[in-house]
Amino acid sequence: MFEFVWHLLAGVTRLTADEIEAAGRVLGPAAVQYSAVRVAEGRILRLVFKLNGNRAVTLFHTINLPAKGHHSRGNLDLLVHEMVHVYQFELAGAVYIWQALRAQR
């Protein structure tokens, strides 16, 4: 339910074929449900990124990226890094969020 509402607030698109290919080279072609992953770049995220210094954030199957700058969608290495968090979510469930936050201290 959260993800559905977030998608409405942030505006999302599917991964491109190039993004899936790049992630597949690192994680494996069937490691993640690539068709479930969405990239959010707009709407409410403008405020989020203003507050967090334009840092990418991944929640569940949604990769949230600023529209421009080093952490934007054009940075394929970053997108693949964020796909690792999707992979962690699929393996561990939502508990990975708390683990990731603790690790950033």
Query: DSSP letter string over 10-35?
Result: H-EEEPPHHHHHHHHHHH-TTSS-GG
Which one is predicted more confidently, 96 or 87? 87
Contacts of 19 (CB under 8 A, 6+ apart): 39, 76, 79
Q: What is the Cα–Cα distance from 105 to 100, expressed in whole angstroms?
A: 9
Asked if residue 83 lies in contact with residue 36, where contact means CB atoms within 8 angstroms, the answer is: no
pLDDT at 96 over 80: no
So what's the pLDDT on residue 10?
85
Which one is predicted more confidently, 85 or 11? 85
Domain range spanning residue 99?
A: 2-103
Counting residues of the chain whose pLDDT is more than 90, the rounded percentage is 62
So what's the pLDDT on residue 95?
76
Tally of domains within the chain: 1
So what's the pLDDT on residue 99?
74
pTM of the model: 0.87
**What's the pLDDT tens digit per position in 26-72?**
999 999 999 999 999 988 888 999 999 999 999 999 999 999 888 99
DSSP state of 55: -
Contacts of 22 (CB under 8 A, 6+ apart): 76, 79, 80
Strands 62-64, 57-59: pairing is antiparallel
